[in-house]
Structure 1
């Protein structure tokens, strides 16, 4: 039972919600798997997810709010290999952060983005 795994994709970005996933997918140029946790995630689900992530580059991109921080702490504890990406606290949510800010955050992690999102100020 492996609902998370997409074959031949080495980079995985974990976000909280569907709107976050849409926003990130629009900006990212390379082939990445974007996984939605739909907010908090149970330990069982997290363990299942982690099993599918070994050997991949995993990035955690969650909201700068309490539920996002709770999820981030869970990943730090259960999957310390993951790299954490942070949006500016003033934007609070991945889905509402400006495209150019998200593009810069993703690019800083060596994730290829569409350049038109870097030009907006």
Structure 2
């Protein structure tokens, strides 16, 4: 039987998944919803992720907020991570910003992404 990662991050798109995967240093499963999620798929996810630490990291736009509300309603145990609204999308947020959001949730990140702020 395959060993499951203790932590799971749920993102919207594959670009978000790649960007987050490059920043994190610990083994974390990253699940992509492709922007929406059906009630059936949500129920499957809840069953599958029941005893794991789940983090929701979605875009700061209308579609992301709709998805976030759905997760808050259906999966209240999940921890919600927020990017600054000025970036709108996880994929558009700078790596240093995503790294600081992830560190704030006790997720280990590669140190080269910290403090790499471009002025």
TM-score by length of 1: 0.94
Match of 1:3 in 2: none
Does 2:11 align with 1:15? yes
Number of residues of Structure 1 aligned to a counterpart in Structure 2: 116
- Deviation of 1:86 after TM superposition, in Å, equals 0.1
- Deviation of 1:20 after TM superposition, in Å, equals 0.1
**RMSD in angstroms over aligned alpha carbons?**
0.8
Q: Can you give the 5+ residue segments of structure 2 that lack an aligned partner in the other structure?
A: none
Does 2:30 align with 1:34? yes
Match of 2:58 in 1: 62
What CA deviation, in whole Å up to 9, does each residue of 1:9-40 have, x standing for no partner? 10000000000000000000000000000001
Does 2:62 align with 1:86? no
Which of the numbers 64, 69, 74 marks the counterpart of 1:73? 69
Runs of 4+ in 1 over 4 A off after TM superposition: none
Q: Can you give the 5+ residue segments of structure 1 that lack an aligned partner in the other structure?
A: 1-5
Match of 2:102 in 1: 106
What CA deviation, in whole Å up to 9, does each residue of 1:35-57 have, x standing for no partner? 00000111011111111001100
